[in-house]
Amino acid sequence: MRIDVEGGRIIAVTADSPRTGTILAGLTLPGFANGHSHAFHRALRGRTHHERGTFWTWRERMYALAARLDPDTYYRLARGVYAEMVLGGYTSVGEFHYLHHAPGGKPYADPNAMGEALRQAAADAGIRLTLLDTCYLAGGIGVEPDEVQQRFSDGSASAWASRVAAIEEGELFRVGSAIHSVRAVPADQLSLVDSKRVVHVHLSEQRAENEQCQAAYGRTPTELLDDRGVLTERLVAVHATHLTTSDIDRLSGARACFCPTTERDLGDGIGPARALRDAGVRLSVGSDSNAVVDAFEETRALELDDRLASEERGRFSAEELLEAGTDHAAIGWDEVGALAEGAGADFVTVALDSVRTAGIEPSGVVFAASGSDVRHVVVAGREVVRDGTHLLVDRPETVLAKEIEALWPS
């Protein structure tokens, strides 16, 4: 197959062509989309495994990390994280961004300095970025933000919207919106969070969220979003773990983003992926806390976790899994995700001769390969990874080690 690229787009795909130009040896697939990321959580990897508890106890450790970041440290950390993502097969990422202000909630001189740090980090790592700028106003239903959460809050949804309106998009940079959760955005502010692209929301990630929402509003989080006019085809429900049958029906036509490796790491539970898909909900996946950054592991986990929940195999076809793993439209890149004329020129080439992939049927690559088998990555027609080496960030592992060790001084 010959893929001709011009101006960041595929202009032709031709079978049975002579081998000329750049040779991509292996199985070439559309680039994977990371639908949900918190880049700074990467600094927690391998540092919380000894702790017992729940998501809520883990969150205290995460807040301690958030309190230490500034635009410079965030840029350096995120550049390493985004380089790791490209090496792992991702060509776009949706960054669920709520770390907006300086400690105490004081805006930086540039109110979007933290978002700018992420934009620059993604540009330098060669990955498409959708900044899912997140409205986060409360510390819980009816609870004021605590000292750390003040960094997340703009005070009101209208103030949040004014700040976001000043962010300019670029060639590989787009802006979406996010509601952190029904815990963090009061019901009367939900409908004010909008976007010309997509709106993401943490939805029913924890049973406690459902219980608090039911107690405060007499509704499930999904019902509340629906009542407030937020549940549209542009909504992406992140996690969607603890849903009722009625919730699943209401989400028909929207999207759900599962983050299996994080949901597993935090002990969140296993969401109803197959039931959502059967109800007409389009699925995508994300690395969330970045406890694991591997497009293949995240994508196949959609099937493997559903096997555990259902005690059945073959819950998703390989085609359905790849459709979920390459759903760039979930983060506002509608033109990316196919090896076809007119599509954005994002593709990943996977080795079929590694110890993991030797002898497999190519259609089973999502079950056999890992991020370590990614040999070449092209983003918008630009080669970013060649022979397993990142061409823009020298030794990302060294970058990450240096920045994370500085954030956690002994």
Which residues are catalytically annotated? 239, 288
Kindly give, in sequence order, each residue whose CB lies less than 8 Å from that of residue 363, ignoring residues fewer than 6 positions away. 318
Greatest alpha-carbon pair distance for the chain in Å reads 66
Token duo for residue 405: 């060790």
Q: Minimal CA–CA distance to 257: which of 277, 279, 231, 230?
A: 277
CA atoms within 13 A on the CB side of 391: 13
* Contact (Cβ atoms closer than 8 angstroms) between residue 103 and residue 145: no
Cα gap 16→187, rounded to integer Å: 57
Q: Give the type of residue at 369.
A: A
Burial track 166-188 (b if 16+ CB lie within 10 A, e otherwise): ebeeeebbbbbbbbbbbbbbebe
Q: How far apart are CA 299 and CA 29, in angstroms?
A: 14
Length of the chain: 410
Burial class (CB in 10 A: 0-12, 13-18, 19+), 1: exposed
User: Residue 255 half-sphere exposure, CB side, CA atoms within 13 Å?
Assistant: 25
Amino acid at 155: G
Following DSSP, what letter does each residue of 274-290 receive, concatenated? HHHHHTTPEEEE--BT-
The SS3 of residue 323 is helix
Residue 178: both structure tokens together: 């996010």
Could you tell me which of 127, 137, 131 has the C-alpha nearest to residue 113? 131
CA 39 to chain centre: 9
Asked whether the beta carbons of 368 and 356 are under 8 A apart, the reply is: yes
Name the packing angle between helices 318-325 and 295-310 (round to 10°).
130
